[in-house]
Amino acid sequence: MSSIAKKSQSTLNTALFALGLDKGGRQPLHAQLADALRALILSHPGAAGTRLPASRTLAAELSVSRMTITTAYDQLLSEGYLSARAGSGTFVADHVPHLAPPAPAVPHHPPDPRPIRPFQPGIPDPALFPDRLWARHLERAWRRPDPALQAAPDPFGWYPLRAAIAAHLAAWRGLECDPAQIVVTAGASDAFDLLFRAALTPGDVAVMEDPGWSPLRAALDRAGLQTRPVRIDNEGLDPRALGAARAAIVTPSRHFPTGCAMPLARRLALLDWARSTDAWVIEDDYDSEFRYQGQPLPSLSGLDGLRRTIYLGSFSKLLSATLRLGYLVIPHALAETARAVLAQSGVRVSLVPQPALAAFMDSGEFASHLRRCRRTYAKRQALLLSELAPLASLLELQPDPSGMHLCCLLRPALRAVRSDAEISAACAAAGLNVRALSSHCVLPDPPQGLLLGYAGFDEETLKAAARTLVDVLSRAARKAFSTQV
């Protein structure tokens, strides 16, 4: 035996004699010994061919029965770690099975929540979320669940929620519909995916507003539709610019993101276009409940009686985007196709929050929540406008009768020296999330403006953020003006 082999034998055997087996432990002694011996062999790469102590000797050293030793040796013989030579004992095998080195441990930390930086548009204030009422309704619905909640669900959603949505739409959006026409979805993108498959065919042309909502563009691409962007003016989409298309997707009550409303004459012209060309008008009515002056504008789908219109609503802005709840209101004629699509694609929305939301709406608490948010958001908008007054020569600052963000166009003097994208980048460096209006456009020569979300931030945060914005913009403008002269 070489001196290296002798050394390995002695260190391996020394380690073996020093093993401490846990006699009161849950794992049988022979299994503990097999695990320890396997680990020793793997950690002594030069130990191939080493003779192990006789079972009787090792049993005496470890104060266990001989059977414990022979069972452990047999186990490792069968795994290929040991080999037996008749009459001369048990040896570490010449070729020990190769074990992949354990993967390096990846430190496991829950990811930090993505920070919501001031002026991010479109998020409701989480502090206004009715946590206690919500918890109570959830608890009531699921403590002793209605058996229907645990049976095969209706793919269109929990019926009482659909009935509550129908009542809400009649009261708030001038839209009379039957709960049977409502499909609960996992937010707006899910709703678009479903309705594109139910009402359109891949290759169809769909008109989208420009500027417009980027996730919509992605949903149109997913459905294999041809997107035709049409630039809007300060009355929204002009029906005369539509041409031949299978659908027009519009935000008539509050255009996203500019905030303008489509006047009645255009709404009627749009419906005429849909009827005469057999096209669909898809109304994305994402936050019209937040209207601060005058009456909420009735929905376009209400005006049409849901003949050539499909209505899309979401709870993301009215309650919380983390609920992932939205809905479609479809003409009766589309119901069967929508069911067929859902049977094929499967339902993506959870039933868990639906009975709680139904109860929250039926109790009148949802309407109170909306009124409370509306009062708070109106005050926040007024505060923001007054804090931004020093920027009046650079930005168009006008009160907006509705919504959760302001869309402020750059005045010509600022536009001449800075793009909205450059300003957005400078704001990001100062910790603000100010979106450039042009980032919502795909057509050339996009309008230049800044989107300033105010709804999701309390007064102190808004004041501090407004001061930073005044600072960033004044500095950017001063620098640009000075380098021009």
Ligand X SMILES: Cc1ncc(COP(=O)(O)O)c(C=O)c1O
Does the protein bind ligand X through residue 188 (CB under 6 A)?
yes
**CB–CB of 213/293 below 8 Å?**
no
**CB–CB of 286/314 below 8 Å?**
yes
Closest CA to 293 of 403, 168, 453, 452: 403
Among 55, 90, 258, 314, binds ligand X (CB under 6 A): 314
Number of residues counted as binding ligand X (CB under 6 A): 13
Torsional sign, CA 411, 412, 417, 422:
positive
The residue among 181 and 314 lying less far from ligand X, judged by its C-beta, is: 314
Interface with ligand X by CB under 6 A: which range of 95-103, 129-137, 184-192, 218-226? 184-192
Q: Which of residues 200-219 bind ligand X (CB under 6 A)?
A: 213
Does the protein bind ligand X through residue 196 (CB under 6 A)?
no
Does the protein bind ligand X through residue 189 (CB under 6 A)?
yes
- Least distance (Å) between residue 397 CB and ligand X: 22
Does the protein bind ligand X through residue 354 (CB under 6 A)?
no
Does the protein bind ligand X through residue 32 (CB under 6 A)?
no
Site string for ligand X, 269-308 (x = CB under 6 A): ---------------x-x----------------------
Site string for ligand X, 117-156 (x = CB under 6 A): -----x----------------------------------
Q: Please state whether the peptide bond connecting residue 446 to the residue before it is cis, i.e. omega within 30 degrees of 0.
A: no
- Least distance (Å) between residue 254 CB and ligand X: 9
Interface with ligand X by CB under 6 A: which range of 186-194, 242-250, 275-283, 428-436? 186-194
Residues paired with 90 in a beta bridge: 84
Six-digit token pair at 23?
A: 């006699």
For residues 426 and 479, what is the distance between their CA atoms, to the nearest angstrom?
Answer: 13
- Least distance (Å) between residue 376 CB and ligand X: 19
Six-digit token pair at 167?
A: 């009542």
Residues paired with 451 in a beta bridge: 407, 435
Six-digit token pair at 441?
A: 């456009």
- Least distance (Å) between residue 238 CB and ligand X: 19
Interface with ligand X by CB under 6 A: which range of 28-36, 70-78, 183-191, 261-269? 183-191
Q: Please state whether the peptide bond connecting residue 252 to the residue before it is cis, i.e. omega within 30 degrees of 0.
A: no
Q: How far is CA 145 from the centre of its chain?
A: 28
Q: Identify the H or E element spanning 470.
A: helix 459-484
**If you ran DSSP here, which 8-state letter would residue 25 be given?**
S
Does the protein bind ligand X through residue 316 (CB under 6 A)?
yes
Does the protein bind ligand X through residue 456 (CB under 6 A)?
no
The residue among 53 and 236 lying less far from ligand X, judged by its C-beta, is: 236
Among 251, 253, 320, 354, binds ligand X (CB under 6 A): 251
- Only one residue has tokens 């030793």, namely 69
Instruction: Return the amino acid letter for 76.
Output: L
Indicate the SS3 state at residue 256: coil
Shortest-Cβ-distance residue relative to ligand X: 187
Among 118, 187, 331, 403, binds ligand X (CB under 6 A): 187
Please give the backbone phi and psi of residue 445, each rounded to the nearest 5 degrees, phi first. Answer: 55, 55
**If you ran DSSP here, which 8-state letter would residue 402 be given?**
B
Q: Which positions touch ligand X (CB under 6 A)?
A: 122, 187-189, 213, 251, 256, 284, 286, 314, 316, 321, 326
